[in-house]
Amino acid sequence: MTGPASAIGVPIRRQLGNGAVVLVKRTTTTPAVTINASFRAGAVCDPPGKEGLAHFVSRTIDRGTSARTVDQLSDELDGRGVTLSVTINRHALSLVSTCLAEDFDAILRLLLEVSTSPTFPDEEVDTRRREIVTLIRQDDDTPGTVALERVMRLLYGEAHPYGRPPRGTVDSVHRLRRSDLADFVAARVVPSTLVLAIVGDVDPDRALALASSLLDSLPGGAAMPLLDPSIPRPAGRRDEFIAMPGKVQADIAVGFVAVARADPAYESYWLMNTILGQYALGGRLGARIRERQGMAYYVSSAFEAADVPGPLLIRAGVDPGNVGSVLTAVDEELRTFIAEGPSDRELREATQYMVGSLPRRLETNAGIASFLQTVEFFGLGLDYDRRMAGLLASVTRDAVQAAAARLDPDQATVVVAGPPEARP
């Protein structure tokens, strides 16, 4: 592993008998340690009819344990100048904290206590439910979110977890009970789904010994069910407009199903998306639609590969009168990319940027811990940081052009949400 914070050696990996994986890397840049506990317990684990359950758990899991109230947890963290961050995405529920090296033992114990023995007090559940409902109603009134969630549903279907809103719906959240939260933790937030990354100024042997002593006695739990990787391809282009009276901006989402992270062509898609518009103004879409033509407030592309073929989405926020022109410009740019592929300069600069950005990701303990989580989640190997540059450098113009062929405008799924006058 490269970068300023990685001078002490390679990470150490140990899998415990109950399935938990512990990754430890020592750094001495600062007298601090980042603890990142990630469970395969994201939104894809929501049972049918209980959409938003994993998100609800992420909002309530740190509100008290069997040993401490929420106020006692806050006092313990505040007394050490430490925060505990809980985040959720499609695939993982993560608890992350950075503390002084001298507080490592106490904070690791506390973090694992929070994740393994939450109590979900009724008053906290009720408070968080109201907050989540407010967030969902805000989402339902935001054209960009409405377009995004609808295009995902069209791409993956209502039965697939990707086709459901991660926060759930107002109705589904109202149906969830405290027992649902507790059952979810008992089934999903368990050692068999855990990757614990510890990075910082701590002796690896001592960190491994402490983590093992805290986790070894816990039952492993059931294996994580695999998602169905077969995603049906659209028979042709799909266009949908969602009228939102009173809005002054229209938001566009153009979606395609790309490839899974394990696909041999992944790096080609990664580079293709970078050239297309991953970094907005630095890509083809931003240069044409926003800079040269001035037709969009924002425009970018995003590629999310995981266990199953992930979405590649083009999104734009535009004046209602520019919707048709922007959609035409997107189609034309995609057809040009498919026909011509990237230029030598585009491929060279995209590769250099992506290789050069890795050391910046590894400048902090938190960055290294996050990188280790990604490496473990996808089974990339602890030497991936050393192999990544070669993998990207081996991608040819033809390979990127072949990846771009997946973005056929005649197979696009397009959703526009905005005021009635924005209808294309």
pLDDT the model gives residue 218: 86
**Chain-wide mean pLDDT for the chain?**
93
Q: How would you list the strands of the sheet with 311-318, edge to edge?
A: 238-243, 413-418, 250-257, 311-318, 298-303
Query: Is residue 364 pLDDT above 70, yes or no?
Result: yes
CA–CA dist 395, 401 (Å, integer): 10
Q: Where are the beta strands (DSSP E) in 147-297?
A: 194-200, 238-243, 250-257
Query: Is residue 4 pLDDT above 60, yes or no?
Result: no
Query: Is residue 232 pLDDT above 50, yes or no?
Result: yes
pLDDT digits (tens, 9 = 90+) for 243-265: 999 999 999 999 999 999 999 99
Instruction: Report yes or no: 166 and 152 within 8 Å, Cβ to Cβ.
Output: no
Burial label for 178, CB within 10 Å (0-12, 13-18, 19+), is: middle
pLDDT confidence band for 293 (50 / 70 / 90):
confident
Token representation of residue 244: 């939102």
Token representation of residue 159: 């039965």
pLDDT the model gives residue 2: 46
pLDDT confidence band for 217 (50 / 70 / 90):
confident
Give first-to-last CA distance, the chain, whole Å.
Answer: 50
Query: Is residue 5 pLDDT above 50, yes or no?
Result: no
Query: Is residue 3 pLDDT above 50, yes or no?
Result: no
Query: Is residue 6 pLDDT above 60, yes or no?
Result: no
> CB count, 10 Å around CB of 374?
13
pLDDT digits (tens, 9 = 90+) for 127-178: 999 999 999 999 999 999 999 999 999 999 988 999 999 999 999 999 999 9
Token representation of residue 63: 């509100």
> CB count, 10 Å around CB of 154?
18
Sequence letter at residue 142: T
> CB count, 10 Å around CB of 122?
10
Helix, strand and coil content of the chain, in percent to the nearest 5, comes to 50, 20, 35
As a whole number, mean pLDDT of residues 213-220 equals 88
As a whole number, mean pLDDT of residues 341-355 equals 95
As a whole number, mean pLDDT of residues 220-229 equals 71
Instruction: Report yes or no: 57 and 210 within 8 Å, Cβ to Cβ.
Output: no
Q: Which of 68, 71, 66 is nearest to 116 (CA)?
A: 66
287 or 72, greater pLDDT: 72
Give me the percent of the chain exceeding a pLDDT of 90.
86
Query: Is residue 373 pLDDT above 80, yes or no?
Result: yes
Instruction: Report yes or no: 109 and 211 within 8 Å, Cβ to Cβ.
Output: no
What structural domains does the chain harbor?
A: 4-215 (3.30.830.10), 238-422 (3.30.830.10)
Query: Is residue 229 pLDDT above 90, yes or no?
Result: no
Residues contacting residue 233 through CB under 8 Å, at least 6 positions apart = 257, 411
pLDDT the model gives residue 233: 83
Instruction: Report yes or no: 395 and 389 within 8 Å, Cβ to Cβ.
Output: no
Token representation of residue 86: 């809980």
**Is 0.75 surpassed by the pTM of this model?**
yes
pLDDT the model gives residue 223: 67
CA–CA dist 29, 65 (Å, integer): 33
CA–CA dist 163, 165 (Å, integer): 7
Strand pairing category for 12-15 and 21-26: antiparallel
**How far is residue 1 CA from its own chain's centroid?**
22
Instruction: Report yes or no: 129 and 231 within 8 Å, Cβ to Cβ.
Output: no
Residues contacting residue 180 through CB under 8 Å, at least 6 positions apart = 50, 53, 56
Question: Which whole-number Å values give the CA distances from 285 to 147, 189, 332, in the listed order?
Answer: 19, 41, 10
SS3 98: strand
Instruction: Report yes or no: 362 and 5 within 8 Å, Cβ to Cβ.
Output: yes
pLDDT the model gives residue 124: 97
Query: Is residue 80 pLDDT above 70, yes or no?
Result: yes
Instruction: Report yes or no: 397 and 351 within 8 Å, Cβ to Cβ.
Output: no
pLDDT confidence band for 410 (50 / 70 / 90):
very high
